Structure 1
């Protein structure tokens, strides 16, 4: 697993200090369950490329809240 903070996908941006703490805690919890986990650096500019066959409008972003 890779924990990758994509702030631009959210309509509600949290406090960076709190967010970093949550990411650190989540990373530690996943490691304790035996998962192989990496974290992308927080605040860095990222590039993500994905090529696939399909309709040009077949991708979307979702926000799921409790």
Structure 2
């Protein structure tokens, strides 16, 4: 699993085009969130429930440090060339969403191209990129 986590003043996104047959059925509309952590997530081959649980645990930990309670899980295939099947990816994203009940969590539509505008905060913890594997460890790759 690859994650790019951004602490944002705001994000606004609009689903523009259904990209895969198994894309979520939605009514395309613009959504805007403020004071939010956006986790761009790519679910990879071999990822399972334990990887998803470890990922959400690490995200919640970093959110505690910055004092943010709102999380947007944003499926973002461009982070990996080793993607899991769409059904696995959607299942794990929904599991991550439901296991962070103490946060205000949502996810952007899976399987859609989206246009977005994002304003990232300007502090040292605003951006981090992480890779999680089945051995349950995280490696921080700061820019």
Q: TM-score, normalised by structure 1?
A: 0.69
2:141 match: none
2:124 match: none
Higher helix share: 1
Q: Distance in 2 between matches of 1:18 and 1:39?
A: 15
Aligned residues: 55
Q: 1:63 to 1:10 in 2, by over 3 A?
A: farther
1:11 match: 81
Q: State the Cα deviation string for residues 24-64 of structure 1 (Å, max 9, x = none).
A: 11000012xx1001110101111233468xxxxxxxxx561
Question: Is the CA contact (8 Å cut-off) linking 1:2 and 1:39 kept in structure 2?
Answer: yes
How large is the RMSD of aligned CA atoms in angstroms? 1.9
Q: Distance in 2 between matches of 1:50 and 1:40?
A: 14
Q: TM-score, normalised by structure 2?
A: 0.34
RCO (CA 8 Å, sep 6+): is it higher in 1 or 2?
1
Q: 1:38 to 1:64 in 2, by over 3 A?
A: same
Higher strand share: 2
Q: Distance in 1 between matches of 2:99 and 2:93?
A: 10
Structure 2 counterparts to residues 30-49 of structure 1, below 5 A = 30-31=100-101, 34-49=102-117
In the alignment, structure 2 segments of 5+ residues that lack a partner are 1-70, 121-128, 134-143
